[in-house]
């Protein structure tokens, strides 16, 4: 069902320019100020604390804000919290624990460990490896089901989503942790699904409407799937916005990454992936 007749492909160079502006801004930010890596990547101390009287996670976060150190707090059970901080020597760690006891009364230290930065390096390496393997498998599958240039366009659109999400986190210096990596992988799965739906419609229309030009076929295909793309994205955004405002600080950065990636994902499926396939196809025809 086609409810709109928007000429998406006519302005594809404008869509490329918008994407490039955001991506370049993110890359410049990564070069100039880098990424704000959390303790999962940079290493530090990890303490599991059991309180006689549960202070509540918000109160504990407020207390930690006054300590002028990087931290992360998670609830791990009844009256128990896991506190991650930047790397502290024995004296500073003891003073931090003493301050918590002064504020909240009796606290039992259940676990006290140092988290090596090498764990973060391993996490980064594994995440990049997972992205690389996923890209290769996607190209192989899409080539088998559609054609090679569909696969290249889809992977480039996914790279677009990843760069935009990472770039925005760099620009605003939002902490990057293991939850962020999980969000990126989730974004990739969501974005590729939307792109495949459009590609499938392009293939169907190419067979049914052989007299139409490639630009017209792509425009018709995007317009036919536009209502689906908008409604599914709107439903997802409603859930994510609810989690962002009501889910608490623990998952806020994860949800923020999902919000950015979801918006970028639906944008890239419509304005990047299909136009890229058109230009790659034109290049192929010129060479042949």
Return the CA Rg of the chain. 24
Lowest mean pLDDT across 8-12, 57-61, 66-70, 257-261? 66-70
Q: Identify whether residues 173 and 74 lie together within a single domain.
A: no
Q: Identify whether residues 129 and 14 lie together within a single domain.
A: yes
User: Domain holding 72: CATH number?
Assistant: 3.30.70.3400
Distances (CA, A) of 224 to 193, 198, 215, 220: 16, 9, 14, 6
259 and 244 Cβ atoms separated by less than 8 Å: yes
Domain ranges, residue 177: 9-37+119-287
Q: What sign does the dihedral 240-245-251-256 (CA atoms) show?
A: positive
Average pLDDT, the chain: 87
71 and 58 Cβ atoms separated by less than 8 Å: no
User: Domain holding 203: CATH number?
Assistant: 1.20.1640.10
What pTM did the predictor assign? 0.82
Which pLDDT band holds residue 124 (cuts at 50, 70, 90)?
confident
Residue 120 predicted with pLDDT over 70: no
- Asked, for residue 148, whether it belongs to a domain, the answer is yes
The residues, ordered by sequence, that sit 6+ positions from 260 with a Cβ below 8 Å of its Cβ are 164, 165, 168, 169
For 169-225, how does the pLDDT look when each residue is reduced to its tens digit (9 = 90+)?
999 988 888 788 889 888 888 888 889 999 999 999 988 866 788 999 999 999 999
- How much of the chain, in percent, has pLDDT values that exceed 90? 38
For 64-115, how does the pLDDT look when each residue is reduced to its tens digit (9 = 90+)?
888 888 888 888 777 888 888 888 888 888 889 999 998 898 888 888 877 7
What is the rounded average pLDDT of the residues 266-277? 94
Question: How many domains, the chain?
Answer: 2
* 285, burial (CB in 10 Å: exposed 0-12, middle 13-18, buried 19+): exposed
């Amino acid at each position: 069902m086609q409810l709109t007749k928007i000429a998406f492909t006519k302005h594809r160079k404008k869509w490329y320019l918008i994407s490039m502006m955001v991506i370049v801004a993110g890359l410049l930010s990564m070069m100039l100020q880098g990424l704000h890596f959390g303790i999962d990547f940079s290493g530090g101390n990890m303490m599991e604390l059991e309180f006689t009287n549960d202070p509540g996670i918000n109160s504990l976060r407020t207390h930690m804000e006054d300590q002028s150190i990087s931290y992360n707090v998670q609830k791990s059970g009844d009256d128990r919290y896991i506190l991650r901080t930047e790397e502290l020597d024995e004296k500073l760690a003891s003073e931090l624990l003493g301050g918590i006891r002064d504020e909240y009364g009796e606290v039992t230290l259940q676990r006290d460990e140092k988290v090596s930065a090498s764990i973060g390096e391993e996490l980064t390496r594994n995440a990049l490896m997972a992205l690389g393997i996923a890209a290769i498998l996607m190209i192989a599958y899409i080539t088998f089901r559609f054609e090679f240039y569909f696969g290249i366009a889809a992977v480039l659109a996914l790279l677009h989503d990843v760069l935009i999400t990472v770039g925005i986190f760099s620009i605003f210096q939002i902490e990057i942790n293991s939850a962020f990596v999980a969000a990126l992988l989730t974004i990739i799965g969501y974005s590729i699904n939307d792109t495949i739906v459009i590609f499938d419609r392009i293939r169907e229309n190419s067979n049914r409407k052989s007299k139409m030009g490639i630009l017209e076929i792509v425009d018709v295909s995007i317009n036919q799937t536009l209502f689906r793309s908008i409604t599914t994205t709107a439903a997802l955004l409603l859930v994510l916005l609810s989690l962002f405002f009501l889910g608490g600080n623990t998952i806020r950065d994860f949800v923020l990454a999902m919000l950015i990636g979801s918006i970028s994902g639906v944008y890239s499926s419509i304005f990047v992936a299909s136009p890229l396939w058109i230009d790659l196809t034109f290049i192929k025809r010129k060479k042949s």
